[in-house]
Structure 1
Amino acid sequence: MTGRERSAEWLKAGGLRPTRQRLALAELLIGDGMNRHVTAESLFALSADAGEKVSLATVYNTLRAFCEAGLMNEVVVDGSKSYFDTRTDDHPHFYWEDSHTLTDAPAEELEIAALPQVPEGMTVSRVDVVIRLRRAEQGAA
């Protein structure tokens, strides 16, 4: 299956019309079958490098549409920086403070024993676990 075909199927699975811009961005995200963590800015740069004429506003809008269609998840770090993850199952993340990147953390090593009781009339929709990493200081134990 080509990257373009994989992208068209992905959009179809989310019920999204395969416009030229959606197809181009989808191919950059999942065309090779690998999962990715991107910011709108990094996807915009990738699209420019690939010769695609897509505005940053279009990238933001398309990423939001992909999330609303259930094709991606948004992971917010520090309440201000959004990363978009093509892997949609529940899994934790490492946030690398020195490089400002987000990667998957091994889910099988995470144990959550309990969650707080949710307010009446509410249900848990998702639990995001972001483990922040920074280089250990030399000589620190």
Structure 2
Amino acid sequence: MGNILGRYIILLTHGSWGIECLKSAEMIIGDVDRVKAYPLNPEDNLDQYRTGILEMLKEQKIEKAIFLSDLKCGSTSQAASYLAYMTGGIAMSGLNLALLISAVRNRDVQNDELPGVMLEEGKNDISDIRFTG
């Protein structure tokens, strides 16, 4: 498969909120290229979902990708793990706006380093921000 430069980010979410997450990221960091949202709809089964994504990757000649799913151990994470295995990509769960922005900023980091970079940034983004004054 091709090198990691220019790899895509594929958002795997229950329903269409991955599309909205991408729109929100663009509000903050501007236009984002090479990011696609692929919603899992109630009528989809896991095999159909994975097959549809693999077909889209093939049709659009996407060789390397970072697969970000919304829910650990959910159908989208199972699909992300499978797709990363089949394509030599990266799979991570816990999609949120900060994780997406981190993935965009760090997409060209080597595969063996990228999960650590993104996990560290994710940990730093979760905070107790209650007003105590």
Answer whether TM exceeds 0.5 for this pair.
no
Instruction: State which structure, 1 or 2, has the greater radius of gyration over its C-alpha atoms.
Output: 1
Structure number with higher helix proportion: 2
Q: Considering Cα pairs closer than 8 Å and 6+ residues apart, tell me whether 1 or 2 has the greater RCO.
A: 2
When normalised by structure 2's length, the TM-score is 0.30
When normalised by structure 1's length, the TM-score is 0.29
